Structure 1
Amino acid sequence: MTVFVLGGAQTDFARNFAKEGRGILEMFAEVVPAALADAGVSAADVGVAHVGNLAAELFTGQAQLGGLLVAAVPELDGVPSTRHEAACASGSTAVLAACADLESGRYDLALVVGVELMRNTDGQRAAEHLGSAAWAGHEAVDAKFPWPALFADVATAYDARYGLDPAHLGLFAEHAFACAARNPLAQARDWKFPDGAFGPDDELNPVIEGSLRKQDCGRITDGAAAVLLASPAFAERLGGDFPRVAGFGHRTAHIGLTEKLSTGGEYLFPQLRGAVVDAYRRADVAGPDALDVVELHDCFTITGLVALEHLGIAPPGDGGRFIADGGLDTAGINPSGGLLGLGHPVGATGVRMLHDAARQVTGTAGETQVEGARTALTLNVGGSFTTVVTTIVTR
């Protein structure tokens, strides 16, 4: 696989676009020119565009986002575009489609944009909209907050198999927010937490669903991210030393969490492990020891712990011990702050991860930079580990 990341951009994930009187159109109009400038290309160079988004119809009533992209950036008029939806992995599936376009030889430069506007309604309504990515009418039917309820079920299943210490989840959250404090675009960069905020204090850290507490759960976020991906020929013409998408993994399982958990085997989620192994193989990477940075999906703390084990960073059942021993820092896990700290505008997350991975391996990640990073992995999950997409970026 030879696709190059020329550059990209993201919006400030702390912003509430609805309160500013702005929406998806304005997100496109802001992030795309910034990404083009960072990549050193013009809109006229773009051969194809891909947009990642989960639920614009539910949150804003707006579909046909490819046309909205042209409305925001008129110079893209005539450029073919496709919108991709795979729950929280929507952005990464847009990235893979763009990579396929470039590898096929149809186009030499692709624009990928991920976008989600979610703070224009109250938290309960937002949770209901996001619940559309679960199995409607079959799971989390009586839950007030569908996704915290489903990932609480993941925590229960993990506990039954291995034993789960909630303190390890608290440590994962503390790491996320500490990293976010160094990221000038993070939603939680200015948040302050009193002593006890990551423990079992029902006032400071109330239970949301099941065993999951407030700090275990990602927040509703507005935001967009964009990257420019190029063929080898186009990148060579520019003459730069660009990071390369060296490999990927992409698998999809049954939409129902119960059905996924019933598969058995060495790993809790075989499809998650399969996508990881596919990426290692395609990128010719021996395994997690070859990674300098990992941007993994931590919409909930339990998601992050499970991901660590399926990446092979910790053996199954030992993710909590790895966290307690300080492994998150030494392994370069989510220096951006991850979804918990940086924020999770659903359709933008996979694109943002790729952008951050490229910045890390080029040494341009600023305050979040992992020293000497040359190889980075992204792991983006849609639904209850239903859609899994991994990429490996090298330089």
Structure 2
Amino acid sequence: MDQDLYVLGGAQTDFARNWAAEGVGLFEVLTEVLPATFTDARVVPGDVEVIHVGNLAAEMFAGQAQLGGLVVAAEPQLAGLPSTRHEAACASGSTAIVAAGADIASGRYDVALVVGIEQMRNVPAQTAADHLGTAAWAGREALDATYTWPALFADVAEEYDARYGLDHDPLGRFAEIAFANAADNPLAQARDWSFGTGSFSEDDDANPLVEGRLRRTDCGRITDGAAAVVVAGAAFARRWAAEHGLELDQVPRISGFGHRTDTLLLEDKFAASRGGEHLFPHLHGTVHDAYRRAGLSGIDDIDVVEMHDCFSITGLVTLEHLGLVGGGKGPELIHDGSIERTGRLPVNPGGGLLAAGHPVGATGVRMVLDAARQVTGTAGAQQIEGARRVLTVNVGGSFTTAVSFVVETTSP
């Protein structure tokens, strides 16, 4: 973005909820999350000038398209506003924020509502896996897999092993850290889960294999959830801050972003990067675009990372593309405590996708909301002391789409 984008506030649903079991769906949840978003952001619907919605598969899971109109149905005061839906698999919410930022940077609009939403627990597990599998190359990959995405990310683990060597210990430890963090997150899907001996090990009874070398606690779960934020340009944010007794530099701002896309087939991505420095060069480029646009030197300027970890291997691979260590060195950061809440680079203090939950279209929006709370000291039990700059990294598909934001404040 050519100008800073300010995050005025937002809200998310409880990711442990099963909407179908409650007898609610997309519309009813929107009627909950939108008022909470406006209350937290201290704006009224009339302040909003444009709407962006992130969602992968509402047609398949809920039989519902035209989500922009559904947002207006849930909050009639938004009637007449332009609205666009964005789909980039698990990065759908982040691409919606990118688009909102472009709208504001263009000068067309001053204030945008960004909503990410996904319902996935209303169908059997195999049906959900098949729906989600459409974000891979249908008919070209994971053809013999029971579950498309565990199988494809198991292929990522195999490729990682071929390049650098990999045993299960760092994957198990990454997952263990995630679930421990989620225990303190009141909105996390896994906050009340308990784990016995061997749950993060290669014990086939306590932690059975799912696909390839990936085990149960290596895999994120199907989640229902919504998250929304109100974002604004500098002129509106300055007036808003003054009205609420704040300085502009106390308002969370997205100071930099990266957004890149690679080819769809996972094996084609592997083939293109073999012999290179990075497993996914476009992911490395995305993160460093965010640093550059934010005027940062790199990862050393970051206090916290909200990072995509739909599987433990996704987290390990993403960790190695941030600029802190090179390929094959991520296990060292996991084992030496660097990514824990008290470490030098806390990762996913609320549990990440593995443990906090991964309602696909909502994830990128939830990341930015959590980042805004970190840099304003309002993250509750997940708060990292002194956090002023957070990096978000959200990927879609088999690292096909990558989006990264830097969210910061310069004054407490």
TM-score strictly above 0.5: yes
1:115-264 alignment runs, 5 A limit? 115-238=117-240, 239=242, 240=246, 241-264=250-273
AA aligned opposite 1:252: T
**1:36: which partner in 2?**
38
Distance 2:299 2:29 in 1: 35
Between stretches 143-152 and 237-246, larger displacement belongs to 237-246
**1:294: which partner in 2?**
305
Distance 2:29 2:278 in 1: 39
Residue of structure 2 aligned with 1:361, choices 371, 375, 381: 375
Are positions 1:314 and 2:325 aligned together? Answer: yes
1:275-286 alignment runs, 5 A limit? 275-286=286-297
**Cα offsets for 1:96-125 (capped at 9, x unmatched):** 000001111111110000000000011111
Are positions 1:370 and 2:384 aligned together? Answer: yes
AA aligned opposite 2:253: R
AA aligned opposite 1:318: K
**1:389: which partner in 2?**
403
Distance 1:187 1:211 in 2: 24
1:15-94 alignment runs, 5 A limit? 15-94=17-96
Distance 2:299 2:133 in 1: 33
**1:351: which partner in 2?**
365
Distance 2:353 2:231 in 1: 23
Deviation at 1:314, TM superposition (A): 2.3
Deviation at 1:313, TM superposition (A): 2.5
Distance 2:208 2:24 in 1: 32
Deviation at 1:43, TM superposition (A): 0.3
SS at match of 1:276: helix
Distance 2:226 2:29 in 1: 6
**Cα offsets for 1:118-141 (capped at 9, x unmatched):** 000111110000000000000011
SS at match of 2:210: strand
AA aligned opposite 1:246: S
Residue of structure 2 aligned with 1:268, choices 276, 279, 299: 279
Distance 1:341 1:22 in 2: 23
AA aligned opposite 1:262: A
TM-score, structure 2 as length reference: 0.95
How many residues of Structure 1 are paired with residues of Structure 2 in the alignment?
Answer: 395
**Cα offsets for 1:170-200 (capped at 9, x unmatched):** 0000000000000000000000000110001
**Cα offsets for 1:120-166 (capped at 9, x unmatched):** 01111100000000000000112100000000000000000000121
Deviation at 1:232, TM superposition (A): 0.5
The runs of 5 or more residues in structure 2 that have no matched partner are none
SS at match of 2:84: strand
SS at match of 2:255: strand
Distance 1:227 1:314 in 2: 32
**Cα offsets for 1:373-392 (capped at 9, x unmatched):** 00000000000000000000
AA aligned opposite 2:159: A
Deviation at 1:327, TM superposition (A): 1.2
Distance 2:175 2:368 in 1: 22
Deviation at 1:26, TM superposition (A): 1.2
CA contact (8 A) 1:165 1:320 kept: no
Distance 1:133 1:313 in 2: 30
Distance 2:144 2:254 in 1: 42
Deviation at 1:309, TM superposition (A): 0.4
AA aligned opposite 2:50: V
Deviation at 1:79, TM superposition (A): 1.1
Deviation at 1:286, TM superposition (A): 1.1
Alignment RMSD (CA, Å)? 0.7
AA aligned opposite 2:267: T
AA aligned opposite 2:199: A
Distance 1:276 1:3 in 2: 18
CA contact (8 A) 1:52 1:94 kept: yes
**1:105: which partner in 2?**
107
Q: Share of identical aligned residues, percent? A: 65
Deviation at 1:169, TM superposition (A): 0.2
